[in-house]
């Protein structure tokens, strides 16, 4: 069976039944579906398949639309210099949340259950950050906790890459240490 960058949740396996050997589609074992190596999206010298945007990516982008609406509503109520600075701070944090996951999914394709759960927790943390933007600095602890959750999720995704994609270990180790450093700086600030 030829493997490409796109994956299926079902795999063709040869199963022998009472009538003899037959070939049919059966579910993959749960462990294999739970923990699977991410695939590099671009491998030089290998023909690449074009992928369509999935529903998760569209929903993830809608979270940022909600963030922009909430941020503009906060800025409309707090149009002094402090409100502008707080809005800029929140925008910067949410922009980094968007860009870091976008960079990950641009480089790696992972459809295992572990990565899916981690990406959903990540997007939920960003959604919480987007909601707490409306309360400004009164919600700084909730906002910060959600920011730490998305950083932990990102570290888990890059740890999986480090453990399972030998070709990307150098990049993954830089991403792990960079995100750990950013989390520590944010925590101290």
Please tell me the pTM assigned to this model: 0.75
Q: Calculate helix-pair angle for 140-164, 169-188, nearest 10 degrees.
A: 160
Q: Is it the case that residue 30 has pLDDT exceeding 70?
A: no
Backbone angles phi, psi at 2, to 5 degrees: -75, 130
Backbone angles phi, psi at 71, to 5 degrees: -65, -40
Q: Is it the case that residue 64 has pLDDT exceeding 50?
A: yes
Q: What is the share, in percent, of the chain residues with pLDDT greater than 70?
A: 80
Dump pLDDT digits (tens) for 119-160: 999 999 999 998 988 888 888 889 889 999 999 999 999 999
């Amino acid at each position: 069976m030829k493997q490409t960058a796109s994956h299926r949740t079902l795999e063709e396996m040869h199963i022998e039944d009472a009538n003899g050997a037959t070939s049919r589609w059966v579910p993959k074992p749960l462990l294999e579906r739970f923990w699977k190596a991410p695939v590099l999206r671009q491998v030089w010298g290998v023909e690449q398949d074009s992928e369509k945007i999935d529903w998760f990516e569209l929903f993830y982008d809608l979270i940022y639309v909600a963030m922009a609406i909430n941020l503009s509503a906060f800025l409309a109520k707090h149009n002094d210099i402090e409100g502008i600075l707080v809005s800029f701070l929140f925008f910067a944090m949410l922009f980094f949340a968007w860009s870091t996951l976008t960079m990950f999914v641009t480089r790696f394709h992972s459809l295992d259950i572990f990565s899916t759960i981690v990406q959903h927790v990540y997007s939920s943390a960003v959604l919480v950050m987007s909601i707490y933007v409306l309360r400004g600095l009164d919600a700084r602890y909730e906002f910060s906790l959600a920011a730490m959750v998305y950083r932990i999720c990102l570290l888990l995704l890059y740890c999986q890459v480090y453990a399972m994609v030998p070709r990307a270990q150098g990049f993954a180790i830089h991403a792990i240490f960079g995100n750990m450093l950013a989390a520590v700086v944010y925590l101290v600030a």
